[in-house]
Amino acid sequence: MRVALLTYSTRPRGGVVHTLALAEALAALGHHVDVWSLARGGDQAFFRPVDGAVGIRLVPFPDIEDEDVGMRIVRSIKVLSAAFDRHDYDVVHAQDCISANAVPQCIRTVHHLDLFTTPELLECHERAIVRPYAHVCVSAAVSREVEDGWGIRPTVIPNGVEAERFAAAAEDSNDARRARRRWADQLGSYVLAVGGIEPRKGTVELIEAMAVVQKQRPELGLVIAGGETLFDYRDYRATVFDRATELGVHPVLLGTVGHELLPPLMAAAQVFAFPSVKEGFGLAALEAMAARVPVVMRELPVLREVFGDTAVFAATPDELAEQLLNVAGAPDHHRVTAGAALAAEYSWDRAARSHVEFYEQHAIPAR
């Protein structure tokens, strides 16, 4: 089949990671795959190398000073729509609300549902659910949300995980030990969160939890990686920083971490914190498990669905603090081993084969 996968950015976010890995796995099965994306701010490539078997179609999207979120969303849709060439694709598969608005007659993966207040985002979100002719979700919990809200029942196809890449960072080889040591020398002992500072990631609650943790373990720092986004979270970031100052918590903000540097960063952590208030699957947490790091996460139905007993759950900042202290002090090695095994079960090859079956049933309708 000829497949077009569309995403909104070349930079590392969960949906972009998903898009590239799925594209490579589909190409490995012998399908022709092109990935289309906006290339913001002069980007010339994706955040990581992409297998040469995958076609890359980047659409320039220069920054505009003082452009607000609503205007940026509208412009994103227009620019991608104007550039996209349907060719003779059998499948056009959008991975987010921007790309689903930009192309007609598409399949849409709903990774998670957001609560927006910006009018343009609300309209984008709604159209991106009701206009596609077929839908995929990466978890049953999100599929139920879509069905409850719109009467649409998406097919559930879980994410894959590059488990071997993260497992290698936890090995006892000289190279793996040196890579972990470089992070430990720079950061000391730390709790790691990946995804940046934004409301969906529960950063305020994590700061509050770390204030309790550091009263007993002052040497245990908080490291936050990632955070690339189209959206403007300046107000929320200001709230997080004010709360951190008030509580005496001083997180280390790494921003975007290089593709090869992320696995050892995870493997060197004492604990991986995942206090998100909204998730579709929990890919970063599974990557941490593949790196044999214990995970403490928010009590959410979707995370219970994916992780079962392999993670430790917490519902409030106080519970989060308690569990972070418990896990950092004495990780449950049986749970860590079970988490690594769980991550290994989610292969991109399996995800790609499930997508092929879905595509065969949902090729572009006759025009």
Q: Which domain holds residue 304?
A: 163-345
Identify whether residues 60 and 206 lie together within a single domain: no
- Cα 314 to Cα 274: distance, rounded to the nearest angstrom: 10
Q: What is the pTM of this model?
A: 0.94
Classify residue 366: in a domain, yes or no.
no
Judge whether residue 32 has pLDDT over 70: yes
Task: Based on the fold, state whether residues 169 and 93 are members of the same structural domain.
Answer: no
Q: What is the pLDDT of residue 228?
A: 66
Residues 101 and 217 in one domain: no
Could you list the beta-strand ranges (E) of the chain: 2-7, 32-40, 55-61, 91-94, 107-110, 134-137, 155-156, 189-194, 220-225, 252-255, 271-274, 295-298, 312-314
Shared domain for 139 and 20, answered yes or no, is yes
Same-domain check for residues 139 and 167: no
Q: Is residue 137 part of a domain?
A: yes
Q: What is the pLDDT of residue 152?
A: 97
CA distance between the termini of the chain: 18
Residue 243: give its domain's CATH number: 3.40.50.2000
Whose CA is closest to 186, among 240, 286, 254, 120? 254
Task: For 18-50, give one letter per residue: b (16+ CB within 10 A) or e.
Answer: bbbbbbbbbbeeebbbbbbbbbbeebeebbeeb
Co-location of 311 and 352 in the same domain: no
Q: Taking all residues of the chain, what is their mean pLDDT, rounded to a whole number?
A: 94
Q: Does residue 140 lie within any of the structural domains?
A: yes
Binned at pLDDT 50, 70 and 90, residue 235 comes out as confident
Residues 155 and 180 in one domain: no
Q: What is the mean pLDDT of residues 269-295?
A: 97
- What the block records as the tokens of 363 is 């090729």
Q: Give residue 234's pLDDT.
A: 81
Across the range 296-320, mean pLDDT stands at 96
199 located within any domain: yes
Residue 114 resides in a domain: yes
Q: Domain count of the chain?
A: 2
User: In Å, how far are 6, 152, 367 from 9, measured between CA atoms?
Assistant: 9, 27, 29
Q: Is residue 367 part of a domain?
A: no
Residues 352, 293: one domain?
Answer: no
262 and 296: one domain? yes
Handedness of CA 36, 40, 42, 43 (dihedral sign): negative
Contacts of 295 (CB under 8 A, 6+ apart): 271, 272, 274, 285, 288, 289, 307, 310, 311, 312, 339
Say if residue 299 is in the same domain as residue 277: yes
Same structural domain, 45 and 84:
yes
Work out whether the CA dihedral 283, 288, 294, 296 comes out positive or negative. negative
User: Which 8-state DSSP code applies to residue 365?
Assistant: P
Mean pLDDT score, 92-111: 96
Q: Specify whether 353 is located in the same domain as 242.
A: no
